[in-house]
Structure formats: C-alpha cells, structure tokens
Amino acid sequence: MDFTFRDEHEMLRQTVKEFVDAELRPIAARIDREHRIPREILFKLRDMGCLGIPFPEEYGGAGLGETGLCVFMEEITRGCFSTAVVCGGHTSIGATAIYLAGSDEQKRRYLPDLCEGKKWAAYALTEPQSGSDAGNMQVTAVRDGDAWLLNGSKIWITNGDFADVIVTFCATDRSQGTRGITAFIVDTATPGFSVGKPEEKMGQCGSTTVEIHFANVRVPERNLLGKVGEGFKVAMMTLDRGRLTLGANCLGAAKEALDVSIRYANERIAFGKPIAEQPAIQQMLADCATEIFAMESLLYRTAWMCDQGLPISRESAIVKLFCSEALDRVVDRAVQIHGGYGYSKEYAVERMYRDSRVNRLYEGTSEIQRLVIARSLIKKGGY
C-alpha cells in the first residue's frame, strides 16, 4: 500500500498554501463577521483551477483524484472554514454526484462548466422531517409526460442561494422508503424554483445555508440522475466521498488550531516564563499532535483507497467520525491554552471553536457513522 503524495499533489498544496497565507487567512475574521465571502476570492480559486481538482481531464478537471481534493480542502480550511465549505458543497458533493451517477452526456453537459467555475453546484438531500431518516422524504417528483414535476422544500442547503445546478433527491414512490427515492439534476433558472432566507448559524458563517422550494418545477427526463428508485444509492455513494473531504476540512482546521496555540504558548508569559514551558500546556499540545497524526493517517489512506477504486463506505464513515470528534477536542484544548483570550473574538480560536461543532452533524451525524461502521462489521462477521 502506497498512499504517498504525487508531485502534482505537493505542488497543489504549496500553491493553495501561498494563496491562503497571502489572501484568505488575513480576511477570515471579516468573512465570519460579515457572513459573506468576497466574490473575488471565489473567482481566484476558479482561476487557479481549484474547482475541478478530482475529476478527469476529459471533463475539464485536473485529474488529481480524491487525494488531490483532500489536499486542497485541508489547506483551504486552514485559512477559512467557510470558504472550504462553499468549495466542498460545489465540488465534493454537488459536482461529484453528477460525476459518479451521471451518464456520459450529463457529465459532458455539466462538468466542464462546473470545473471551470462558470456554474456552481449544490446538493439537496435534507428536509425538515427527513435528515438522518432519508426514507421519510417529503419532496416529491411525479412523472408528467417527458418530464418530472418537483414539489416541496429542502433545508440546510449549502450554496443553495447562488448555485446554478442542484442535485436534488425526491420521493417518487413513498411506499418503497429509501428504494423509492430518485435523484435529479435541477437547473435553478427553471420556473417554480425559489430560495428562502439564509440560516443564522453558530459557525461557518461565511457559507450561506438556505431553504429551497420547488413549486411544480419541471425537470426534463434527460436530467434524471441514475435510475428511478436508485437515488438513495446515489446519495450515499456521493456522501462516501463527501465525508472524506469533510475529514480533510477537520484535519486542516486542527492543524491551524494547534499552530496558533503553539505560537500563543511561546508568546504568553506567566509566572515569569512562556506558558509553553508548563507541563500542563505541553501535555495538551502533545495530545493535539497525536490526534492530528491519526487524523492525517486515516484520511489519506482512505483517499488512496478511493483513488484505487476500492470500496470505502466503512472507511469514510470512520474518517468522518474520528476527524470531526478529534477536531472538537483539539479546538477545545486550543481555547483552554489561550485562557480567557480564547473566548474573545479578537483571537482566531474563538471562531475555530464555533466552526468545528457542526462537523459532527452534517453529512451524517456521529451516531449515523457509528451505525454504518457497526453494520459493516456485523455483515462481514468481523473487521
């Protein structure tokens, strides 16, 4: 097993790191405060070729696979979690659903524009009464001649207020539960589509999260994504990869929290010496580093497996579970190391603390990840 980085991955990491250091990290606090990512930041990421990193070159991508996407997401999150979430909603679940389940015609019709940033994507699965319980989906799609009519509402949709294309999951036969769910590619310029107000969130405030509504939205048959009744399979296949990149977000955020804590511990003087010399602080730093090493190892081993075409459902659930929970422990220690200043908006760790909590909720709660892992073990009869 060789999950080392290719030269192209290292070049990507350095390019994104330089961008983050020069342009993104300096404005991260303003992004959080104003609840808005400057459009020029997204345009620069587009111009850098960062929106199609994992996809094959034939569809306009960079051909760097899931490993490349994880490298990008790790580094961009070190600068601003909100910006990483916008990119993830676009690439790692929105466009990825089309790449994994789309026909060649659909891929050629949508992916080049998505990779180039001419269009933006989103992914719409969650509903008010259908979060972890996807079988209780209420948004419906009813066949109408050579098209489908979509009705209902989705919530917590990242990029939903500006996306041009939204992969949407609908109940086409409620009696079948998850086997009655079908996926569609919805162009948001279609009459009947509308956007609700942005949610007021604890963290990741620069990334807009909205409710979206369908009122007899007419979707042509050619925008059916996969087969009728196989939408749940499409959703889970996509989330397997989305959970990997979310793990990369958590890794980047954890590394950033540790680095700012080390700097603070070296600068903060108490009892006549830097607090970095205090054993209690050293123990917290060591625990953070240990968890980060485990996060990094889990993440890139699984990304390598994904790029080899190996099954990763259990492994991506492990990555998502461990990395999201480890990040919370790391940022909690970071706040503790900063003392009272860690509770102040003047210091970045306050924002990191708020940004981290939702990772244990979206793209499958920690409890759902444990179910996925346990059921895999039971079905296999062992590890």
- Please report where in the chains the tokens 């003087």 appear, as a residue: 269
* CA dist., res. 38 & res. 331, Å (int): 26
* CA dist., res. 28 & res. 94, Å (int): 24
Residues serving a catalytic function are 363
Phi/psi-derived region of residue 156, left when phi > 0, alpha when psi is between -120 and 50, beta in every other case: left
Could you tell me the maximum CA-CA distance found in the chain, to the nearest angstrom? Answer: 79
* CA dist., res. 245 & res. 91, Å (int): 10
Closest CA to 174 of 122, 211, 146, 139: 139
Query: Hey, what are 288's tokens?
Result: 């953070």
Contact 263, 88 (CB under 8 A): no
3-state DSSP of 299-339: HHHHHHHHHCCCCCHHHHHHHHHHHHHHHHHHHHHHHHHHH
Given 3-state DSSP classes, what are the helix, strand and coil percentages for the chain, each rounded to the nearest 5? 60, 15, 25
Contact 294, 288 (CB under 8 A): no
Beta bridge partners of 23: none
* CA dist., res. 86 & res. 73, Å (int): 11
* Angle, helix 231-267 to helix 313-338, in steps of 10 degrees: 30
* Residue 207 DSSP label: S
